[in-house]
Structure 1
Amino acid sequence: MQSSFRQYRSEAASHSHDDFHQIIIADLGMLELEVQGRGGCVSGRRLAFVPAGDTHAYRAVGMNRFLVLDVDIDVAAGAGLERLWQLAGASPYLEVGTGYAGHLTGLLQGLEQKRAISRIRRFTPDGQGNLQSESLSLLYMAGIEGIAASENAFADDAFVCQSLREVLGHAAAVQGDLGGADAMIPMRLQRLLAWIELRLSEPISIADMAMIAAQSESALFAAFQSYLGTTPMRWLGEQRLQRAYVMLGDPKNTMTLGNIAHEVGFTDQSAFSRAFSRRFGHPPIALRRSNRL
């Protein structure tokens, strides 16, 4: 299996590949696609599963970055990925459920960390690719503490296949184009909203939003008021609480309240419970209990 992070140009291009399926996941921006005449896009929780042999055209506008996975046909069949794709609707365009965007984020971050380890290994003093104390220090400095103690965590396809099973297992076919109200939102704002949706567990500032939207902070506030009727931080807070509501309402979700709070960007469980209660009129534990009766 081959994986790479790619940036696409605004000029359209097309090709096909016969010996592997291609799965495309957005890290930043939107990729317009046409797979065997079916138009759609990759952005936020929307990913593309391009079957082997299908001709596809693509183009992106503005800042963009995508994870592209070339999955051998035999690997996809043996790992159960084709079956999960069929169960999800066998569409080139799939959308991961609202409460499961963390699976996409985990895959993106895991492969990014693998790349960081690979870059450091090139310069290891022993010449054998073994991480030395100097290299481990670099990993810690890069914020990859969880990887330094287990350097082979992402050394093979097992991590990618398991992550893809989680993603495809919580995905469903969608209509190709965005359509509806989303089509009226400017591309730069759509790009920002999709970027935020995959990072609800992370600290996000107004400055971060303005940078991704490629506009000033004052223009960002104006865009949110004009197209979404609220401020950037209020919109962000609402998305976090809505994500938590979906997760708590899922009887199969066994995460603790503290872990759910962290997953939606709260560092303090008490603050999460207060915000949730103000928004929905009852504490999060009440919703969890009601869905397990």
Structure 2
Amino acid sequence: MPSSFRQYRSEAASHSHDDFHQIIIADLGVLDLEIEGRGGCVAGRKLAFVPAGDTHAYCANGMNRFLVLDVDVGLAARTGLEALWQKSGGSPYLEVATGYANRLTGLLRGLEQQRAYAPIRTAAPSDRHENQQSPNMSVINLASIAGSESIFADDRFICGSLRDVLGHSIIVQRSDGTANAGIPMRLQRLLGWIELRLSEPVGIADMAMVAAQSESALFAAFQRHLGTTPMRWLTDQRLQRAYAMLGDHRNTMTLGDIAREVGFTDQSAFSRAFARRFGHAPIMLRRNLGSASKTIISR
């Protein structure tokens, strides 16, 4: 399955491709899209499924990096990816459920090991799918660097991860009333970047680098637009993800595993933070969910 990391420029460009669908996943930044007249974006847990044959326009501002997967139409049908997309509502814009965002990071981190060996280059006309390359993007062509031992050389891994992602996605459409309305693009870019790394160590210096501003300017931006500090916002996002994971009856992870999944190395510290945020220990949420399930079954 052809895959590449791409960086997009601010100049809008458009194209279409008839023999494959395209799935676009954010690693950093916000990609504005218009697919057959339907506007939306790719950022954080929001991804795009571009159907084969649909004309789409795209542009991005500032630092950005996106994983682009070209999924052969036949492969999408055989593996059920197309059916899952249709089950999600058939919208080109999807948002992965909070508890399953780690599937996106799994795909992205699977390529991090390749970064040192894959300098970004400007796409040339000789690249595969000439019509989809343009001066508006730079590309890392993974097919030229991924050896047989790379997990991305195995379509089964990719398709399995995508099935998880699409199977736990909901339709999302852009509206002027979104939570990010009025938030500067560089801060939106940072929030999406953090959202995909809640299980990883993230510090103020990392945030400032991604936002391309000083640490003091970063604190001022968070206070002005979000009413909190960067680390408090990060902790709240981690706890909200943990709440969603604990509230999902299909999730059988232990409390320790969930704590680590949302960036806490100490389960006790996680439980204390969770109790302060939601008024009860995380184990109580799981117990209450189990009791409710038993009541439904008994009926």
Residue 11 of structure 1 aligns with which residue? Answer: 11
> Cα gap change, 1:50/1:6 in structure 2, threshold over 3 Å: closer, same or farther?
same
2:156 maps to: 158
1:166-177 maps to which residues of 2 (within 5 A)? Answer: 166-177=164-175
How many Å separate the matches in 1 of 2:71 and 2:117?
Answer: 20
Residue aligning to 2:76: 76
The change in CA–CA distance for 1:222 and 1:246 in structure 2 (over 3 A counts) is same
Deviations along 1:73-111, whole A, 9 cap, x unmatched?
000000100000001110110001122111100111113
- Alignment size in residue pairs: 262
1:30 corresponds in structure 2 to 30
Partner of 1:57: 57
The alpha carbon displacement at 1:116 in A equals 5.9
2:17 match: secondary structure: coil
- 3-state SS of 2:290 partner: coil
Secondary structure of 1:233's counterpart equals helix
SS in 1 for 2:170: strand
Task: Map 1:59-208 onto structure 2 (within 5 A).
Answer: 59-113=59-113, 115=114, 151=149, 153-177=151-175, 179-208=177-206
| Among candidates 225, 238, 241, match of residue 239 of structure 2 | 241
**Corresponding residue number in structure 1 for 2:214:** 216
- With 47-56 and 271-280 compared, the bigger mean Cα shift is at 271-280
For normalisation by structure 2, the TM-score amounts to 0.84
Question: Take 1:196 and 1:231, find their aligned partners in 2: how far apart are those partners?
Answer: 14
Q: Name the CA distance, whole Å, in 1 between partners of 2:276 and 2:43.
A: 31
Residues 20-69 of structure 1, C-alpha deviations (whole Å, 9 max, x = no match)? 00000000000000000111100000000000000000000000000000
SS of match in other structure, 2:153: coil
* Distance in 2 (alpha carbons) for counterparts of 1:163 and 1:250: 19
Counterparts of 2:17 and 2:83 in 1: how far apart (Å)? 20
Kindly tell me: are residues 206 and 116 of structure 1, through their superposed partners in 2, closer, same or farther at Cα, counting changes over 3 Å? closer
Deviation at 1:112, TM superposition (A): 3.2
Distance of 1:265 and 1:61 partners within structure 2: 29
Secondary structure (helix, strand or coil) at the match of 1:191 reads helix
1:178 and 1:199, CA in 2 relative to 1: closer, same or farther beyond 3 A?
farther
Give me the TM-score of the superposition, normalised by structure 1.
0.86
> 1:118 and 1:225, CA in 2 relative to 1: closer, same or farther beyond 3 A?
closer
The residue identity in structure 1 corresponding to 2:276 is R
Kindly, what percent of the aligned residue pairs are identical? 76
- Residue by residue over 1:215-256, the C-alpha shift from the partner in whole angstroms, topping out at 9 and shown as x without a partner, is 111111111110100111111111111110110011110111
Look up the SS of the partner of 1:41 in the other structure.
Answer: strand
Looking at structure 2, the residues matched to 232 and 44 of structure 1 have their Cα atoms a distance apart, in angstroms, of 17
Cα offsets for 1:130-162 (capped at 9, x unmatched): xxxxxxxxxxxxxxxxxxxx9454431011000
Q: What secondary structure, in the 3-state scheme, does the structure 2 residue paired with 1:184 have?
A: coil
Structure 1 gaps of 5+ residues are: 120-149
Cα distance in 1 for partners of 2:183, 2:112 equals 30
Q: CA RMSD in A?
A: 1.6
Q: Which residue of 2 aligns with 1:267?
A: 265
Are residue 251 (structure 1) and residue 288 (structure 2) matched?
A: no
Q: Deviations over 1:156-175 (max 9, x none)?
A: 10110000000000101111
C-alpha deviation, 1:179, in angstroms: 3.8
Q: Distance in 1 between matches of 2:249 and 2:268?
A: 22
Distance of 2:176 and 2:165 partners within structure 1: 20
Partner Cα separation in structure 2 for residue 232 and residue 112 of structure 1: 25
Shift of 1:118: 7.8
Partner AA of 2:89 in structure 1: G
Letter of the 2:90 counterpart:
A
Q: Distance in 1 between matches of 2:219 and 2:229?
A: 6
Alignment correspondent of 1:134: none
